[in-house]
Structure 1
Amino acid sequence: MTLKLPYELVLGWRYTRAGRATRRNGFISFISGVSMLGIGLGVAALVIVLSVMNGFQKEVRDRMLSVVSHIEVISADGGALEDMEGTLKQVKAHPQVMGAAPFIAAQALLARGEDMKGVLVRGIDPALEPTVVDLSVASQGFNKGMPGIQALSPGKFGVVLGVDLARQLGLRVGDPVTLIAPNGQVTPAGVLPRLKQMEVVGLFNSGHYEYDSALVMLHVADAGKIFRLEGPTGIRLKIKDLHEARAVAKELAPALPMGMAVRDWTQQNRTWFAAVQVEKRMMFIILTLIVAVAAFNLVSTLVMTVTDKRADIAILRTLGASPQSIMGIFMVQGAMVGVIGTLGGMLLGLLIAFNIDVIVPALEAVFQASFLPKDIYLISRMPSDPQMSDILPVVLISLLLSFVATVYPSWRASQVNPAEALRYE
């Protein structure tokens, strides 16, 4: 028993794969191939760009969270928390909280000789810090085995620097460095800045340039002495699901004492994440227009096909084919071009997206250029993270545009008058 396909489907596929000059060979006609190529390249571009933007956002977020905790409970006035122990027990009682660590946050100047740079100072407890961030993994410095945050001891006044900050000031482990605190000493001669000679005891490399070039860590007890604080200014929290940070922060805020504020990791970098989302939407719209242009090339493709097949259309009409059947034949042809182009573009886009970590370094080596300077783009390699939530809308929109583009030429084909079409044949 053989399956008999509708003749509309058979003829539509035949018109798709065979032009006048290639009827016997069965190759895809040139004009249909160009339309498929246009749709495929547009879809591939959309898949690649959206995958790269997803990867860029995920990479920066993961590297940022190796330094920034999921949630921070801080003193609203910037001073020490009044009831540190009570607040610590209270936030740990939340079922989502996996770790908590006190910290001191301040700003200062770091000086070595005549070189000076503004830095973010964070006083941490080396025993508790690994429970809230993954900095213990990133704190190996330039070489494995180099001391990291575990080298910080109270009273020793040691500091751990980001690798880029150390490069800028020409510092290595064991070098002395001067920390200048903003709250000065009042003397008969006026207000003098507070200076403290410290020693570089470790380096960390989070991979996030913003922190690697500006963050200085020291023991929380030493930070309290330098900045004249009676205790930590906040508590850093790690929760089970980082995507629930905003909801957990809202749950914690009402139960905290007065004078305390809660902020999650999205609020600390709100501008950057909002900019990425806006750019992603704009790129989706712009590249969708490219797909739309390629899809509407099907109009010219089908118009030329209808003109070429007027005699065939007339013969089919005289044999009893209805206008709806003629319209179906050319809609099948346009749909085939759209489906093949869309699927081919999706496969090409996914192939490049999953191998972009190999393709981009090869192109950089060929052109002797760096596509992502990390002092500008925060990371130095091209990431990629294809997601079904992005790919599925791209495929559906491309197919929809392709189907819409076939309607008018197919309708015109169904209106061909058999008598006039055969008059000059």
Structure 2
Amino acid sequence: MIEMQKLSKHFEQAHPDIKLKWVTLEEGVLRQRVTTDIATKGGQFDVMTIGLYEAPIWGKKGWLQELKTDAAYDVDDLLPAVRSGLSVDGKLFAAPFYAESSMLMYRKDLADKVGVQVPERPTWPQIKDLAAKVHDPKNGVYGICLRGKPGWGDNMAFITTLVNTFGGQWFDMQWKPQLESKPWKDAIHFYVDLLKNYGPPGSSANSFNEILALTNAGKCGMWIDATIAASFVSDPKQSKVAEHMAFAQAPTMNTPKGANWLWSWNLAIPAGSKKVDAAQKFITWSTSKDYIQLVAKTNGWANVPTGTRKSTYAAPEFQKAARFAAAEKTAIDSANPNDSTLPKSPYVGVQFAAIPEFQAIGIAVGQQMSAALAGKTSVDAALKAGQVSAEREMKKGGYYK
């Protein structure tokens, strides 16, 4: 986004009749401001940054303008999983400027030392086994680092993928929350034990940035998180162990479904906008193939927006600059927001359920999971409390009596 703001002078030169006024907000504040504005048709913004979570909910409610793209934009070049997550009934309601999945990032030097060959798509028991072998806290190396900080898009993004691959889901086809089901119990017991035995101290407060710092300092044997992290941990300017980092798919357990998440940041036009035509032009420009070429020319191929277009991954220059590119594309392509759980689910989304109630539920459950990880409550008690708050929200939302 910062780069887009810098490069937007090129857009204004090409469209002298359009002036851009940027409003930059911290992520939590951004969500509140745009949600309020769009729900009240406030018309405060003509282009909004929204997530993969909001796009289908708001598109369905008629809160967003459908995006009309021309042939040059080449909508078929968008990665299918991302395009599908931003569409309702075949209509595109937001355009991605950055997308990600999740993947395993690990120190190959440590795995080699203990004689373990990490497969392309490992299983969770294999991960636990490797974590045990490389865990060496005396020498400042922890077997595995995973998110523990509470938040629906924080610890729950990771935990939901873990639950998915253990065969669980958020809600059954009657919209009944499933937090006390066997897959949830198995997954959370596994997660808490894994981090207690082989994770860094204070894991319940760790999010992406904390773990990125630990990984770059060489303190994590493994990390499963957003694919964007691969570009940081493999950069010798940022990471002490850049040359040792290797990449594989997110681990699986009872099913590969929903094992790795799917997220994108997107630009959308609120229904309340009075400048739809100008907004459309800007979105088309900033998410186009030409824009990616402009970033490559200005900042180098290692800095282009990832996760959005097939043509980016087909570019030999990008493949050369990003050695994680193939693993990242495989991860994004394998995520299916419409079929991410073993039992059939009524919701869209891999690591979230695209319903308005999910934010409140995810926050409440995230706090319980973090407390269980910190040892302040038992796993079963945390899941029971999560189930109670989820049922309350879903009844309040009128999903069932």
Q: TM-score range by the shorter chain?
A: under 0.3
Q: Which has the higher helix share?
A: 1
Larger Cα Rg: Structure 1 or Structure 2?
Answer: 1
| TM-score, structure 2 as length reference | 0.20
